[in-house]
């Protein structure tokens, strides 16, 4: 059985960043990912400007800039009656961009490998056991390993949380669908957040010729939203869609001695605000820092510090996410708020700046 300092479960942004920084700190690191990369993921594909410092620290910011992407110049909000408001986004080197997750996540995973993390793709975690304080992980392909620290970065339906009895009850309140389609003519370099009867749509270019189309709604309304999208964007009824649920769920406490949760495994926020990738990257950095202290310094307070910093990461931002969720769960209310903001544009600009900063 192989012995590691840290085992990271999940190869998305949180897991790959955590594994990369753990390996860079000299820790023997294994990352366990059930998929084979590159793979797509249901996501708005937008990188908040706050992601760039982390990507620079990781040494891949230039690789991301060289990959196919779209630089977003503005965000447009459209209400139920097609009344809209458009707000300019910050420009320059650290502008917000949209990039396909198949590209972005592969860059992150490759960087973790380059820095020395052992990557095991197409590996499904089947059991966890804690022995003498360490974690024993068994994988479906008969691979087994032990690690002093376990980092769960395996998403909103976390297998680690489930195996540890920590996964909250999940209600399928809403469903998200996503497809990459041909970029509509004259769409422009903007992200559109459009309220619709029964849900909302997120739209953004991800390259010179490709477009990310997301739909979010309740199970009973999602087919109506699909019909709207097919008519709006002249899609084939055979268009393939990726799907994910739940959109939100209760949080999992991020620190349990030598078990840390990062990214969506710890907290899922309303995707309308487009901050998910930033939270994933930042929590991955914080988890790596805590892991290094646990392993190298035998720190007894590293997990408590991780929990505090994880909470602080959301401070001053979650109220906006709560407001956004209220608006999109009730599109009629959202349209009223948008109409109000059209006459008080400083309010919407303030909220946008609090998210895209």
Q: Is residue 343 part of a domain?
A: no
Decide: 315 and 354 in contact? Cβ < 8 Å.
no
pLDDT recorded at residue 315 = 83
| Residue 294's pLDDT band (cuts 50, 70, 90) | very high
Q: At a CB cut-off of 8 Å and minimum separation 6, what does 165 contact?
A: none
pLDDT recorded at residue 348 = 62
Q: What is the mean pLDDT of residues 73-93?
A: 89
* Environment class of 232 (CB within 10 Å of its CB; exposed 0-12, middle 13-18, buried 19+): middle
- Most confident listed range (81-95, 115-129, 305-319): 115-129
pLDDT recorded at residue 154 = 97
How many whole angstroms separate alpha carbon 243 and alpha carbon 47?
20
pLDDT recorded at residue 232 = 96
Q: Is residue 353 predicted with pLDDT exceeding 80?
A: no
- Tokens (6 digits) for 336: 């009223």
How many whole angstroms separate alpha carbon 249 and alpha carbon 247?
7
CA distances from 352 to 94, 137, 145, 273, 318 (A): 16, 42, 45, 9, 13
Number of compact structural domains in the chain: 1
At 92-102, the pLDDT tens digits run 989 999 999 99
Q: Is residue 148 part of a domain?
A: yes
Closest CA to 132 of 151, 147, 121: 147
Q: Is residue 118 part of a domain?
A: yes
Q: Is residue 191 part of a domain?
A: no
Q: Is residue 270 part of a domain?
A: yes
Q: Is residue 209 part of a domain?
A: no
Q: Is residue 165 predicted with pLDDT exceeding 70?
A: yes
Least confident segment among 63-67, 109-113, 266-270 = 266-270
Q: Is residue 239 part of a domain?
A: no
Mean model confidence pLDDT for the chain:
90
Which residue range forms the structural domain that includes residue 119?
2-44+100-170+249-318
Q: At a CB cut-off of 8 Å and minimum separation 6, what does 279 contact?
A: 263, 267, 269, 313, 314
At 185-235, the pLDDT tens digits run 999 999 999 999 989 999 999 999 999 999 999 889 999 999 999 999 999
Q: Is residue 342 part of a domain?
A: no
Q: Is residue 141 predicted with pLDDT exceeding 80?
A: no
Indicate which CATH number applies to the domain containing 112.
Answer: 3.50.50.60
- Tokens (6 digits) for 354: 């609090």
């Amino acid at each position: 059985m192989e012995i590691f300092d840290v085992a990271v479960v999940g190869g998305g942004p949180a897991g790959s960043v955590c594994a990369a920084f753990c390996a860079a700190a000299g820790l023997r690191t294994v990352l366990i990912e059930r998929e084979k990369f590159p793979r797509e993921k249901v996501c708005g594909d937008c990188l908040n400007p706050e992601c760039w410092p982390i990507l620079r620290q990781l040494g891949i910011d230039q690789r991301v800039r060289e990959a196919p992407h779209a630089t977003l110049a503005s965000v447009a909000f459209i209400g139920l009656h097609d009344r809209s408001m458009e707000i300019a986004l910050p420009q320059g080197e650290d502008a917000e961009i949209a990039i396909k997750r198949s590209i972005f996540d592969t860059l992150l995973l490759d960087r973790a490998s380059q820095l020395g993390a052992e990557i095991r793709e197409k590996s499904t975690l089947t059991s966890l056991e804690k022995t003498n304080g360490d974690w024993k992980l068994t994988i479906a392909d008969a691979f087994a390993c032990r690690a002093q620290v376990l980092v769960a970065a395996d998403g909103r339906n976390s297998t680690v949380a489930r195996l540890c009895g920590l996964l909250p009850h999940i209600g399928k309140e809403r469903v998200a669908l996503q497809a990459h389609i041909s970029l509509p003519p004259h769409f422009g370099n903007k992200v559109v957040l459009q309220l619709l009867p029964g849900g909302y749509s997120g739209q953004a270019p991800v390259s010179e010729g490709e477009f990310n189309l997301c739909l979010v709604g309740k199970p009973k309304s999602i087919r109506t939203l699909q019909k709207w999208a097919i008519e709006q964007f002249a899609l084939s009824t055979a268009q393939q869609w990726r799907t994910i649920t739940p959109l939100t769920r209760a949080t999992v406490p991020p620190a349990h001695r030598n078990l840390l949760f990062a990214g969506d495994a710890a907290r899922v926020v309303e995707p309308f605000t487009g901050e998910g990738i930033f939270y994933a990257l930042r929590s991955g950095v914080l988890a790596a820092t805590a892991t290094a202290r646990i392993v190298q310094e035998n720190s007894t307070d590293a997990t408590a510090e991780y929990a505090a910093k994880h909470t602080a990461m959301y401070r001053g931002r979650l109220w906006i996410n709560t407001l956004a969720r209220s608006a999109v769960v009730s599109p009629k209310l959202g349209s009223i708020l948008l109409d109000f903001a059209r006459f008080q544009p400083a309010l919407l600009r303030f909220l946008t700046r609090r998210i895209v900063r």
